[in-house]
Amino acid sequence: MNQYPLWKYLLIGVVISICALYALPNLFGEDPAVQISPAYARDVKIDDTVQDIVEVKLKEVNIPFIRIERTPKQLLVRFKDNNTQLKAYTILKDALSEYVVAQNLAPATPDWLRALGAMPMYLGLDLRGGVHFLMQVDMETAIRQDEETHINELRTLFRENKLRYKGIHRVTKEGSGIQVTFSALETRNEAIKLVNKQYDNFDITEKDGINEYRLFMTFTEKALIESRQQALEQNITTLRNRVNELGVSEPVIQRQGDERIVVQLPGVQDTARAKEILGATATLEFRMTEDTREKWFEVEKNGKVPLNARLYHERDGNPVLLKRRVIATGDQITDAAATIDQRSGRPAAVVRLDSRGGKKMLQTTRKNVGKPMAVVFIEYHIETKLVDGEKVTTRSKTEEVINVATIQEEFSKNFQITGLSSSEANNLALLLRAGALKAPMEIIEERTIGPSLGEENIYLGLLSIMLAFAAVMLFMWLRYKTFGLVANFALLMNVVILVALLSLLQATLTLPGMAGIVLTLGMAVDANVLIFEKIREEIANGNSPQSSIHIGYEKAFITIFDANLTTLIAALMLFSFGTGPIKGFAITLSLGIITSMFTAIMLTRAVINYIYGSKTLVKLPV
């Protein structure tokens, strides 16, 4: 009656052995490390030369290191303590300016465990230290940029179809929208047909003036929702790319609501650099110049800018007149890298365009050899201040010409930009390589957690788990004797299996996650309490010990299953609709419910069957 077949014992033994193996890496801790990775993968590589530089620089200043690990994508130097790590970071950052040098914590897992794919759990921000940003996306600017893009497309569309218009511009007095003015009614009617054929995201309104026929276009509600969604998704993608460039491991970048993004960077200590890179909205535009330099100063003096041109300024304040037609924009840049111009010896940025941008660049440069082309640097700023007790948000846009150069020969995808300082070239290359933000963002909440606070959180979290574990084990032993010891063994295995699953899933453990583990301990032993009390009840009713064991497990199973199922459903709801710490709690709770069902029912019964199943019993120590 109370005997398991051999295969069940073997299955339980294999499961526990595998889980113990994959939980083991969590006992080895982490080493302070400096991570070196390519800033521009196609230009620099991690090879013997880089490793030699690292070793020489560290030996020159007598900085000891545990070992150096190299892969094609990165070099990892391990140290004994944080002070040594910080000294090495300062030295290597100066010595390897072409690479991303970042401080990190590297798992101290032995090689034989790593060969089996066994890795420790990730530690969250509250345990490891780092920075937390809550960023607000400026959706108004995102809509405004989409309108500017459509204005350029409409100009091209009308020009290709030989439709003459008097003017086209954004409307700001009536909210938002695009207004096109025509001299003839027939031309406007043709334009309406053309726009309706080409676009399905506009609501079109006709307005007449004195000898003018206006076309007023606004985005449909569906188009506005899609534009905001795209802005949020593009910003999240760009932030991920920028975080990768910073060399941060296990970052958390996720959406919060319809306009906010949460960014958590465990282990980051240079918060100023992180804020500068994450919030920057730099992008570029490439335009041909209009007229001569003498004409530029004349236009600035009299204020009469030609319809097909726009007046910009260089960094020294000199005016530059550029054509309205944009050749290529920042979102068409696929790669960028800081370099040194071989002709002038000055810092520069090498740029690579996508096929669409490269095609337009080739067509333009082929027709304009010997003519100057300008690079416009664009940056958006958003700032919130308290005015009379109320938050007032101001938006500004900086546009300046950073380079005007004569086209010496035709080119397409690959070229370089000069006129930058060394730091500007590095930052611009990083931002362009990671991608441009669709809309500027403002950091509305910032929290910094120091490594010492993280260590304290780990200590207190582990202490709470151990105290809870000890209290539960003591209670079970005193209350249920031998059966209580079996439950305690199952409880220990439950923790091992839970840690193994979290490690295999590479889940991030946070303080709420630790709370989920503590709750799991109580729930796991609760199942055994139900079983043991049922066994006592059956013995009191006069059943034999063997029959009481069998009935106790069979009848208690339904109650345990129902109770755990309802808790699992609640945990899944928390995971589905919660964010950040709530998700961490839901993950550990969900996994804990599953593991406790296995250990509290199957494992304890296997042990009790092995001890008592073949014996003739008069009474049970329960």
The CATH class that applies to domain 139-223 reads: alpha beta
Q: Which has the higher per-residue pLDDT, 41 or 375? A: 375
Residue 42's pLDDT is what? 41
Other Cβ atoms closer than 10 A to 317: 8
pLDDT at 44 over 60: no
Q: How far apart are CA 178 and CA 169, in angstroms?
A: 6
The CATH architecture one would assign to domain 30-107 is 2-Layer Sandwich (3.30)
Q: How far apart are CA 264 and CA 129, in angstroms?
A: 10
Q: What is the mean pLDDT of residues 41-56?
A: 77
Q: Is-contact 210 188, C-beta < 8 A?
A: no
Q: Is-contact 346 418, C-beta < 8 A?
A: yes
Question: Interhelix angle for 139-160 vs 185-198, to 10°?
Answer: 120
Q: Do domains 30-107 and 280-448 have the same CATH topology?
A: no
Q: How far apart are CA 336 and CA 414, in angstroms?
A: 10
Residue 41's pLDDT is what? 38
Residue 145's pLDDT is what? 80
Q: What is the pLDDT of residues 279-299, one digit of tens each?
A: 666 677 889 999 888 889 999
Q: How far apart are CA 392 and CA 226, in angstroms?
A: 27
Q: Worst-scoring range by mean pLDDT, 9-18, 414-423, 430-439? A: 430-439
> In the 8-state DSSP scheme, what is residue 562?
H
Residue 24's pLDDT is what? 93
Q: How far apart are CA 487 and CA 607, in angstroms?
A: 9
* Nearest residue to 78 (alpha-carbon basis) of 38, 106, 37, 49: 106
Pairing of strands 30-38, 99-107: antiparallel
Q: How far apart are CA 517 and CA 371, in angstroms?
A: 69
Other Cβ atoms closer than 10 A to 592: 29
Query: Which helix (H) or strand (E) is 1 found in, with range?
Result: none
The tokens of 462 are what? 């582990």
Residue 142's pLDDT is what? 83
* Residue 78: band (very low, low, confident or very high) from pLDDT cuts 50, 70, 90: very high
Query: Which helix (H) or strand (E) is 369 found in, with range?
Result: none
Dihedral angle over CA of 225, 228, 231, 233, nearest 10:
-60
The amino acid at 469? F
Q: Is-contact 580 252, C-beta < 8 A?
A: yes
Other Cβ atoms closer than 10 A to 101: 23
pLDDT at 123 over 90: no
Q: What is the pLDDT of residues 570-613, one digit of tens each?
A: 988 888 877 667 877 888 889 999 998 899 888 999 998 888 87
Q: Worst-scoring range by mean pLDDT, 30-39, 88-97, 361-370, 549-558? A: 30-39
Q: What are phi and psi of 295, to 5 degrees?
A: -65, -35
Q: What is the mean pLDDT of residues 235-256?
A: 76
**Residues 301, 307, 309, CA angle at the centre, nearest 5°?**
70
**Domain spans of the chain?**
6-25+450-612, 30-107, 139-223, 280-448
β-partners of residue 310 are 322
The amino acid at 346? R
pLDDT at 216 over 70: yes
Q: Which has the higher per-residue pLDDT, 533 or 524? A: 533
pLDDT at 272 over 70: no
Q: Is-contact 79 88, C-beta < 8 A?
A: yes
* Nearest residue to 526 (alpha-carbon basis) of 578, 564, 573: 564
pLDDT at 385 over 70: no
Mean pLDDT of the chain: 83
Q: Which has the higher per-residue pLDDT, 464 or 44? A: 464
Fold of 280-448: Gyrase A; domain 2 (3.30.1360)
Q: How far apart are CA 117 and CA 45, in angstroms?
A: 26
* Nearest residue to 39 (alpha-carbon basis) of 54, 53, 50, 52: 50
Q: How far apart are CA 61 and CA 55, in angstroms?
A: 10
List Cα–Cα distances, 343 to 25, 339, 348, 423, 517, in angstroms. Answer: 53, 12, 11, 20, 63
Q: Worst-scoring range by mean pLDDT, 141-155, 434-448, 539-553, 556-570? A: 434-448
Of the segments 73-87, 386-400, 453-467, which one has the largest average pLDDT value? 73-87
3-state secondary structure of 174: coil
Query: Which helix (H) or strand (E) is 194 found in, with range?
Result: helix 185-198
Q: How far apart are CA 185 and CA 206, in angstroms?
A: 10
Q: How far apart are CA 430 and CA 241, in angstroms?
A: 9
Q: How far apart are CA 65 and CA 88, in angstroms?
A: 9
* Residue 43: band (very low, low, confident or very high) from pLDDT cuts 50, 70, 90: very low
Fold of 6-25+450-612: Multidrug efflux transporter AcrB transmembrane fold (1.20.1640)
Residue 40's pLDDT is what? 41
Per residue, the 3-state secondary structure of 275-341, as one string, reads HHHHHCCCEEEEEEECCCHHHHHHHHHHCCCCCCEEEEEECCCCEEEEEEEEEEEHHHEEEEEEEEC
Other Cβ atoms closer than 10 A to 463: 10
